[in-house]
């Protein structure tokens, strides 16, 4: 497996000397500069047999620069091999990447999702609208600086908001999110082992 | 007649039944609840089971599931209501003819459930008035049946005639109370 990945990397680097190997726990992963992405992916599809785009997502590195890294997962149905491509976004404030919609139809909705949740604009995308949140939503919720509970915003429909008096409010976290630390006996690490009796009305006691 | 309960005496009344308008109206309404399935998540699967032959909602007179709000009078909100969907739920509720009732089925519809997140409405009672809440994630079909029977009891206790005349006098439906509207959490 590792040998296969090494020969594959050598083959890819032979054609694209801008590629560098990326640390990976599973299959082959490469870093690619944004300027070369479309050319590289065209070659992946037409010459290297990576005929399926499985996933498009992104990483927010928070305080680091470059802050956003676009991630692409390709699958070769003939070689039964996955390939991960990572592309850094040059701009930390308004991150952009070239769109792969012309190469892979699957990129369309995936890029819309990444735009919606991470705020990366895909240049050349035919219809870059939000796909999960509503069109007027002002934030990108999967960014590191966005709180899980949300930020107060008006409801998408003004008339419904006027009738009901409802708005998008931060969700009560009630001491959550409840995640086991997983590093000890379950009787001590599961959320129920800790005192989670506080609510949004009864504040969490400070030690 | 002083008693509140009105009994039928065939010797006195013959083919005439003396009763109260409320009793008749409520009796008619509670035995012909037409639910509209607002299926939004996995609760809808249990809702389908409750409507199917194994659990058989029709034993209690509420099997006429209608997928058009115009033909229904009880909205069963079964599942997670996102803020994006909240508008749709409210509009469909408004399209239902009076009198109408709402059942919040399951943890998500009642309180947002496990979705303490930026995208999920924390309880459908923030946008529509809810009559019965059902606990469970998802609730068993028996729990939904129990909720529907509780709703029937509630319909049976309504002042149907008073509501009707009040509505006629004011020219519009009384503004429904939202349990959690504008609730600051």
Instruction: Encode pLDDT of A42-86 as tens digits.
Output: 999 999 999 999 999 999 998 888 999 999 999 999 989 999 999
pLDDT in tens, chain A (207 residues): 567 778 888 888 888 888 899 998 888 999 999 999 999 999 999 999 999 999 999 999 988 889 999 999 999 999 899 999 999 999 889 999 999 999 999 999 999 999 999 999 999 999 999 999 999 999 999 999 998 888 999 988 888 888 888 889 888 876 667 777 778 887 777 766 666 555 566 666 666
CA atoms within 13 A on the CB side of A191: 9
Residue A6 shares a structural domain with residue A83? yes
- CA–CA min distance B37, chain A (Å): 21
CA A105, distance to chain mean position in Å, is 19
Please indicate, yes or no, if residue A201 is contained in any of the structural domains: no
Using H for helix, E for strand and C for coil, what is the string for B82-137?
A: EHHHHHHHHHHHHHCCCCCEEEEEHHHHHHCCCCCCCCECCCHHHCCCCCEEECCC
B115 to chain A, any CB pair closer than 8 A? The answer is yes
Instruction: Give the mean pLDDT of B13-42.
Output: 86
Q: Which two tokens stand for residue A166?
A: 């409802």
Q: What residues form DSSP beta bridges with B103?
A: B76, B132
Within this chain, do residues A120 and A169 fall inside the same structural domain, yes or no? no
* Interface residues on A facing B, Cβ-Cβ cutoff 8 A: 132-134, 139, 141, 146-151, 155-157, 160, 163-174, 176-177, 200
Could you tell me if B111 lies within 8 Å of chain A, comparing CB atoms? no
Q: Which residues contact B38 (CB under 8 A, 6 or more apart)?
A: B75, B76, B77, B78, B79, B89, B92
The total number of structural domains in chain A stands at 2
pLDDT of residue A197: 59
Instruction: Based on the fold, state whether residues A77 and A155 are members of the same structural domain.
Output: no
Q: Which residue of B has its CA nearest to A141?
A: B118
Backbone angles phi, psi at A80, to 5 degrees: 55, 45
Which domain covers residue A108, as residue numbers? 2-143
**Helix or strand run (H / E) with residue A28:** strand A28-31
Which residues does chain A have within 8 Å of residue B119's beta carbon, measured at their own beta carbons?
132-133, 141, 150
Q: What are phi and psi of A121, to 5 degrees?
A: -85, 130
Residues A87 and A157 in one domain: no
Both A89 and A156 in one domain: the answer is no
* Average pLDDT of every residue of chain B: 84
CB contact under 8 A, A171 and B122: yes
Question: Is residue A204 in a domain?
Answer: no
Question: Quick check: B120 contacting A, CB < 8 Å?
Answer: yes
Does residue A63 sit in the same domain as residue A135?
A: yes
> DSSP assignment, residue A126?
T
- How many whole angstroms separate alpha carbon A161 and alpha carbon A150? 18
Are the beta carbons of A146 and B182 separated by less than 8 Å? no
Distance from CA of B82 to the nearest CA of A (A): 9
Is the CB of residue B182 less than 8 Å away from at least one CB of chain A?
Answer: yes
Q: Does the predicted model carry a pTM greater than 0.90?
A: no
Contacts of B178 in chain A (CB under 8 A): 164-166
CATH class of B36-156: alpha beta
Domain shared by A41 and A99, yes or no: yes
DSSP B182: T
Q: Is residue A202 part of a domain?
A: no
- Nearest chain B residue to A131 by CA distance is B84
């Amino acid at each position: 497996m590792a040998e296969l990945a090494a020969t594959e990397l050598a083959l890819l680097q032979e054609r694209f000397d801008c590629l560098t190997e990326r640390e990976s726990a599973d299959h082959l992963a490469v870093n690619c500069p944004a300027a070369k992405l479309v050319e590289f992916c065209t070659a992946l599809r037409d010459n290297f047999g990576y005929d399926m785009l499985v996933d498009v997502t992104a990483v927010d590195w928070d305080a680091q620069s470059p802050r956003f890294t676009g991630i692409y997962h390709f699958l070769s149905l003939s070689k039964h091999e996955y390939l991960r491509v990572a592309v850094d976004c040059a701009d930390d404030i308004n991150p952009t990447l070239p769109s792969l919609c012309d190469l892979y139809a699957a990129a369309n909705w995936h890029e819309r999702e990444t735009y919606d949740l991470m705020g990366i604009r895909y240049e050349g995308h035919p219809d870059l609208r939000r796909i999960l949140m509503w069109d007027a939503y002002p934030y990108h919720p999967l960014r590191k600086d966005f709180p899980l509970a949300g930020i107060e915003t008006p409801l998408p429909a003004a008339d419904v908001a006027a009738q009901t008096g409802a708005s998008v409010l931060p969700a009560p976290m009630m001491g959550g999110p409840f995640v086991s630390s997983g590093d000890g006996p379950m009787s001590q690490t599961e959320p129920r082992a800790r005192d989670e009796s506080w609510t949004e009305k009864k504040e969490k006691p400070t030690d | 007649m002083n008693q509140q309960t009105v009994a039928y005496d065939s010797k006195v009344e013959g083919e005439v039944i003396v009763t109260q308008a409320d009793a008749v109206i409520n009796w008619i309404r509670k035995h012909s609840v037409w639910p509209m399935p607002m299926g939004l998540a996995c609760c809808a699967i249990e809702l389908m089971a409750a409507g199917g032959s194994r659990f058989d909602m029709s034993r209690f007179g509420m099997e006429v599931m209608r997928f058009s709000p115009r033909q229904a009078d009880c909205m069963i909100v079964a599942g997670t209501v996102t803020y994006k969907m909240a508008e749709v739920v409210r509009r469909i509720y408004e399209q239902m003819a009076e009198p109408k009732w709402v059942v919040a089925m399951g943890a998500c519809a009642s309180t947002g459930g496990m979705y303490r997140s930026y995208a999920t409405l924390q309880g459908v009672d923030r946008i529509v008035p809810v009559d019965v809440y059902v606990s469970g994630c998802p609730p068993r079909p028996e729990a939904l049946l129990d909720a529907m029977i509780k709703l029937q009891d509630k319909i049976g206790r309504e002042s149907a005639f008073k509501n009707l005349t009040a509505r006629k006098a004011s020219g519009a439906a009384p503004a429904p109370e939202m349990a959690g509207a504008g609730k600051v959490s």
